[in-house]
């Protein structure tokens, strides 16, 4: 049975998940996380992909990425997967696959949808009970987005920059967003849309993607995220 083509458009952010095969670990030591992140930065620059948020978990990875052109994320993930598997197999004297088939991805609408996807990604370690504060998970974009710690991998999305013109106020607003109570339906909506590879956004966003690609982009209706406040 042929695979469904991805919903892939230039300049449209995508939420990407890459899982370890059979949900087994894909990171074993600290050096492995560092290697993956280094390779991700190099390849994202090469392919013209801006990484806005990320988290490296024990057995999977979440990314929020905007490609400059269609096909760029596929090239990025294919090259990254091959490089990292070769590194792991050489280091641990193993053979075979590391990843669970193809990565999953879905386009994400700008504005509140992007910010809520930011939050979903960076709260992964908290939901997994790995840490009490997302800042305590080192392999994440949270320290950069929430506290301004330099991270050469992170490229701020316009929706994040729009939280405030002042960087200190912007970080404060972002921390407030991340740490506020999250509606479980929002978590489920984000999870289901990326698993089913449906467009995550408003009905208007979905229709725009369908008009450009000439095929269905997902369900007819999803919940609308609560409007976020900006700080001048």
> pLDDT tens digits, residue range 172-224?
999 999 988 888 999 999 999 999 899 999 989 988 988 888 877 776 554 55
The residue with greater pLDDT, 228 or 82, is 82
Tell me the whole-structure pTM to 2 decimals: 0.90
Mark residue 197 as left, alpha or beta (left: phi above 0; alpha: psi -120 to 50; beta: remaining).
left
Is residue 94 packed enough to be buried (19+ CB in 10 Å), middle (13-18) or exposed (0-12)? exposed
Is residue 29 packed enough to be buried (19+ CB in 10 Å), middle (13-18) or exposed (0-12)? exposed
* Whether pLDDT at 22 is above 80: yes
Instruction: Please identify which residue in the block is written with the tokens 């450009």.
Output: 212
**Residues of the chain above pLDDT 90, percent:** 78
> pLDDT tens digits, residue range 30-85?
999 999 999 999 999 999 999 999 999 999 999 999 999 999 999 999 999 999 99
Tell me which long-range contacts 225-231 makes (C-beta under 8 A, separation of at least 24). 225/112, 225/113, 225/115, 225/116, 225/186, 226/112, 227/112, 228/112, 228/115, 228/163, 228/177, 229/173, 230/162, 230/163, 230/164, 230/173, 231/163, 231/164, 231/166, 231/169, 231/170, 231/172, 231/173
Instruction: For the chain, count helices (H), then strands (E).
Output: 9, 4
* Whether pLDDT at 229 is above 80: no
SS3 108: strand
> pLDDT tens digits, residue range 193-205?
999 899 999 989 9
SS3 27: coil
Q: 56 near 124, Cβ under 8 Å?
A: no
Which domains are delineated in the chain? 14-213 (3.30.70.1290)
């Amino acid at each position: 049975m042929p695979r469904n083509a991805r919903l892939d458009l230039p300049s449209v952010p995508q939420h990407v998940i890459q899982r370890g095969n059979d949900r087994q670990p894909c990171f074993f030591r600290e050096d492995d996380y560092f290697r993956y992140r280094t390779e991700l930065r190099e390849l994202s620059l090469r392919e013209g992909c801006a990484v806005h948020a990320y988290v490296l978990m024990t057995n999977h990875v979440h990314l929020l990425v905007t490609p400059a052109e269609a096909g760029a994320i596929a090239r990025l993930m294919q090259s990254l997967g091959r490089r990292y598997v070769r590194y792991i197999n050489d280091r641990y004297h193993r053979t075979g696959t590391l990843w669970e088939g193809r990565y999953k991805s879905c386009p994400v609408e700008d504005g509140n949808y992007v910010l809520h996807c930011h939050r979903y990604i960076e709260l992964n370690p908290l939901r997994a009970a790995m840490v009490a504060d997302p800042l305590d998970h080192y392999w994440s974009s949270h320290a950069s987005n929430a506290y301004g710690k330099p991270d050469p991998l992170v490229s701020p999305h316009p929706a994040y920059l729009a939280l405030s013109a002042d960087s200190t106020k912007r970080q404060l607003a972002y921390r407030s967003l991340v740490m506020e109570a999250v509606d479980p339906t929002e978590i489920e909506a984000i999870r289901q849309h990326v698993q089913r590879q449906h467009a995550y956004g408003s009905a208007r966003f979905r229709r725009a993607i369908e008009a450009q690609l000439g095929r269905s982009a997902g369900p007819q209706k999803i919940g609308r995220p609560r409007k976020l406040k900006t700080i001048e």
